[in-house]
Amino acid sequence: MSVTTMNKSIHEGRNIKRFREMLNITQEAMAADLGDDWTQKKISLLEGKEKIEPEILDQVARVLKISPEAIKNFSEEAAFNVIANTFNSNDTSTLNAINYNCSFNPLDKVIELYERLLTSEREKTDLLQGNQQKK
């Protein structure tokens, strides 16, 4: 049995759209950042292209504040693999469960802080009463 690997081509325009949407940038805003000769329609057409000229890719990458290689190499499948392999649920039924919960009771910390504040206020009151008795 032979295993064949499918060489999936990366759609650079679609990757630009994905990065733009992840950064919550509209096509209009991106066109304005790219310059006067850019319009929303031109951005839309750019996002439809599979391959993009290197100089345009560099310009778009600068506006998105990412590297051109990120656009060229982004793979949705790889991104899903990273997310799937790093996702942690709070389900403690798994054998290798990691406890991400607090190791202390937050209420204890609040009480401790309140007690320190109360002690400080008592000391201030004692100082003020001592100063008034001297007068």
CB 16 within 8 A of CB 46: yes
Report the distance separating Cα 108 and Cα 122, nearest Å: 21
- Sorted by where each begins, the domain ranges of the chain are 12-86, 105-135
CB 29 within 8 A of CB 19: no
Q: Which of 1.10.260.40, 1.10.760.10, 1.10.10.10, 3.40.50.2300 would CATH assign to domain 12-86?
A: 1.10.260.40
90-127 pLDDT tens trace: 555 544 545 556 677 778 888 888 899 999 999 999 98
Q: Which residue do the tokens 């391959």 mark?
A: 51
Report the distance separating Cα 124 and Cα 129, nearest Å: 9
71-93 pLDDT tens trace: 888 876 666 565 566 655 555 55
What single DSSP character describes residue 38?
-
The answer to whether the predicted template modeling score (pTM) of the entire model surpasses 0.75 is no
Closest CA to 48 of 21, 12, 13: 13
